[in-house]
Chain A
Amino acid sequence: MGLTEVQRYVYEHPWELVTAAHWMKYPNARCPQVLSADVLERRVEDGGRVLHTRRLFTGASAVPQKLHWLIPASPAYALEHSVVDTRERRMTLTLQSLSFANILQITETCVYEPHESRTDCTVFTQEWTCEWKVPSYLKKRLDSLSLQRFRASVENGRTAVAEICAELESRWDEAARGMRQLCIPDDATDVRGRFIRHRQYRPDELDAHSRAHNH
């Protein structure tokens, strides 16, 4: 039984651009724990509409610094398998840790898909699971440490992709960029809260937002 965390984030960019940014994410100074991301396999299927990719991630040790007495620091590897479907406009990926599999397994399943109500926005959903295969008296503490580490890094990862999206946007010269719509999801407040923290709102925008959504 592992510990699972689900996070949802909205990028204010179209799905095509966000998935392109995904491929440009590494190496990135915001994600120092990822030392290298290398494509091992790539193929196109279904008449050129579906892209399958397998990548090897070389990273800093998955184990927190304070536990290096237990597991020494050496590169930790993970494998990412992704499928990009341009017809469905959906990208799914699974990132599975490879190293120290007898002690620790970390799996991340992510989906990029167009926002359900805003056509220029993309929803990124991350489901992260961690399982320490250790005696139960250690498990809870270690799971918690790993979760903290994940939460600390996940925002940087999204910022990294968001920055690339902004860079791509000006380079791709997309049409109809003038009127940007606020992408406020209709669901959970924590998602809304996280979105608000990430964007710089003008005071009048904040007033309008709180008037519209404050109950």
Chain B
Amino acid sequence: MRNESASADAAAGTMSTCGEMEVPTLVCRREREAYETCFNAWYKGKFLVLKNDDMSDCAPLWDAYQKCLQSAIPADVMSMVNEHAQENDAKANAPDTSAAGPS
């Protein structure tokens, strides 16, 4: 079952809203769908069967999608993302000394 409100919005010409709320990334819906169709095929056909592959099949669609997102995602949201991404990467790369840290 797919969310149909997005296509209704597109038909009405308000591609980036959902109800009364602005959803910035909905403007990239087409690029996302094109990329994800490619990704899903790659995931099943290559990644899961351990075919050593670097996702280059989907590279053009990925580039188009990312280009759209870069202009769609608000700057304040991106800075929240970058802050968290850095924290995550730091935790992932830290030596495994976290025995029973509080969380």
Contacts and interface: CB of A to CB of B under 8 A. Distances in A.
Contacts of B88: 79, 81, 94
Contacts, number: 105
The interface centre, meaning the residue of A39, A74, A84, A87 with most chain B CB atoms within 10 A of its CB, is A39
A58 B54 contact: no
Given A29-B3, A36-B26, A172-B44, A77 B50 contact: no
Interface residues of B, number: 40
Contacts of A35: 18, 21, 23, 26
A36 B23 contact: yes
Contacts of B29: 36
A20 B44 contact: yes
Interface residues of A, number: 45
A118 to B, nearest CB: 19
Interface centre among A30, A47, A77 (most CB of B within 10 A): A77
Nearest to A51: B47
B81 to A, nearest CB: 6
A126 interface: no
Contacts of A56: 25, 73, 77, 81
Given A23-B36, A49-B50, 8 more contacts: A20-B40, A23-B39, A36-B23, A39-B35, A44-B55, A58-B23, A79-B84, A98-B80
